[in-house]
Copies of this chain bind each other. A is one copy, B any other.
Amino acid sequence: MTEPGFVSAFAPGSIGNVAVGFDMLGLAIAGAGDRVSARRVSDPGVTIREVRGMDGQIHPSLSAAADENTASIAAKSLWFAAGHRGGIELIVHKGVPLKSGMGSSATSAVAAVVAVNALLDEPYPTEDLLVHALAGEQFASGGLHADNVAPSLIGGLVLCPNVLLPRMVSLKVPTGVSSVLVHPDLEVSTADSRRGLAKTYSQEQWLTQQGYIAGFIAACEHDDLDLFAKCLRDELIEPQRAASIPCFPDAKAAAMRSGAFGCSISGSGPSIFALCADDDAENIAAIMKQACQDAGYECQSWISPMNSPGACIETAK
């Protein structure tokens, strides 16, 4: 798939917010991701030769203009920081659906910086790539949030609040827990969804949600599934976004009835995720899909271990 002279990197999609950690918690998934191929060229600057879907066809909607694609914006940030002569040419293969809540823009940005990093004379440590991937993500989402970029880059469950950036904190994941991600066939704009959120919250609301995320992190570190299930909830943002995803209430109810530890909206949606025991994942994926289909939405689904890997180089120079 990779053309001669190119290096290819794969980056996974991700679940943003993970219910309990709005804008600060993300989880890598397996099976869905973007691939970016990159090569050094003599002309300065960063260009995109083409953007293709996973079917190999030219992507019907994404721009290949270098100042409009998160992959090239992220690549440019890294390339300029490295200060090399010449430029970079990219080929982007989109595997993550757009406006899905699966971190599509972040995924391209991460794959791009990982590929370009491999072309540098002295590649940076993976952690140092975050700020460059964020430069791309920021263009797409209109805000600086690492909850998709961070897990796509380093894998697993990552805590990455804005106040700690560029620091990312890999959290332990509890034993035997999988994510189920269902993507119903409708589109939600992240930027529009953000604008619709309440601007202020009462002290009680704030402390309620803060209590859940604090308990959730302790639960992960202690491998305490009772506490994990008690804390895996979003009482502030989810209620504001649920109306934009008509099949969400039924899908969530079905997942919870079938023993999921929790179920919420991935990022700003429309994708819906559940965390559940490994053995329950296939059944829960099936009933969540059925609930979406019953509401009139076709959907795809992915099942992933919570410790799914982050981005990686697929082919050497």
Contacts and interface: CB of A to CB of B under 8 A. Distances in A.
Contacts of A257: none
A61 interface: no
Interface stretch (A26-34, A103-111, A193-201, A275-283): A193-201
Given A202-B199, A203-B201, A215 B162 contact: no
Contact of A227 (B25, B167, B201): B167
- Interface of A: prevailing SS: helix
Interface string A165-202: 00101011000000000000000000000000111111
Interface string A214-257: 11011101100001001100000000000000000000000000
A6 interface: no
Interface string A198-216: 1111110111111111110
A150 to B, nearest CB: 13
Q: How many copies does the complex hold?
A: 2
A151 interface: no
Given A161-B211, A200-B200, A211-B164, A218 B171 contact: yes
Contacts of A205: 206
Contact of A218 (B207, B221, B230): B221
Interface residues of A, number: 40
Interface stretch (A16-24, A48-56, A290-298): A16-24
A163 interface: yes
Given A199-B202, A200-B202, A214-B214, A208 B163 contact: yes
Nearest to A217: B217
A168 B210 CA distance: 15
Nearest to A206: B206
B221 A210 contact: no
Interface of A: 21-25, 159, 161-164, 167, 169, 171-172, 197-203, 205-215, 217-219, 221-222, 227, 230-231
- List the 8 closest pairs (A to B, CB-CB), nearest first: A161-B211, A221-B221, A163-B211, A206-B206, A200-B200, A217-B217, A210-B210, A169-B218
